[in-house]
Homo-oligomer: A and B are copies of this chain.
């Protein structure tokens, strides 16, 4: 169960960083959706290492193979399995990890949990696991766009203290893809890139915030009580590597307001019910209200740094470690497609659930 996500639109991922493959099986994608390998590959290319000078230089083609579930370019309603083979496995970089726990990585906790671990490159805890999510997300996103006109865009909102000004109701994917840091505020993007470059040369790392918006989401998605839309989106994003915080709508900042300032007043928008403000982030009582769904995820600075650090070895004795492996000085540019994928998976699942329980059309 640890590697499955979703109720009706459900994915199960597999694969270790330095094992032979990573992949995913998608169970519950509706039938008759047109989908091509190229559409999936395009998303994987956005997640791929080595795509720019500010990401890790690990070289992986990350070429996807469709193993099942798609025939003549159409989904069959049956499980869709997608496979990517690992190729650039510089295991030598990781020799020290066999005997030492990297600080703030999962090495120690995996060992404590399982009594064994795939020590090369973090094994299952590696960000390579997200390949399956991004591949599956490409299909979920295509289906949401086709069936419901939903549009999902994520972008880097903040790196360390550098914060971008972005209007979530109008931001386009083209603006996001216009630079290598995936921040649609061009001026701030340049500063972010320079900062990441500097920190990379210093062998250190940075954190920040990814913001994501879903526009055109039908009203009524999300379930009362436990499977609230924001609870499921929160779980989805918090399950991404390095994610330590989540908020929707006004989030933490909203706690500083009075109710009279924070409430989103309804009005008659020519027959449609809309709200004047969107502190709710498109979700009220856990259910979408037709406004843009806006969420943010906090990513900690990458744990892998190229500086010597104190740690312990597998016998629990004090030692030091200085990683030599390639690393992402800042995960945020590559986290953007991961966030979009998880958001698409949650919305696709809730769309199917709503259609099942309340039967809003095909």
Contacts and interface: CB of A to CB of B under 8 A. Distances in A.
A79 B10 CA distance: 15
A170 interface: no
A62 interface: no
A67 B23 contact: yes
A272 B123 CA distance: 24
Task: Give this chain's copy count.
Answer: 4
Interface string A189-233: 000000000010000111111000000001111111111101110
Scoring A109, A257, A359 by chain B CB atoms within 10 A of each residue's CB, the highest score goes to A109
Given A205-B259, A357-B8, A271 B316 contact: yes
A14 B106 contact: no
Given A4-B226, A245-B247, A267 B68 contact: no
Contacts of A112: 219-220, 287, 289-290
A257 B255 CA distance: 23
Interface in A333-362: 351-362
Contacts of A312: 266-268, 273
A1 B227 contact: yes
A184 to B, nearest CB: 19
A64 to B, nearest CB: 13
7 contacts: A2-B225, A15-B67, A227-B239, A234-B234, A260-B309, A268-B312, A356-B357
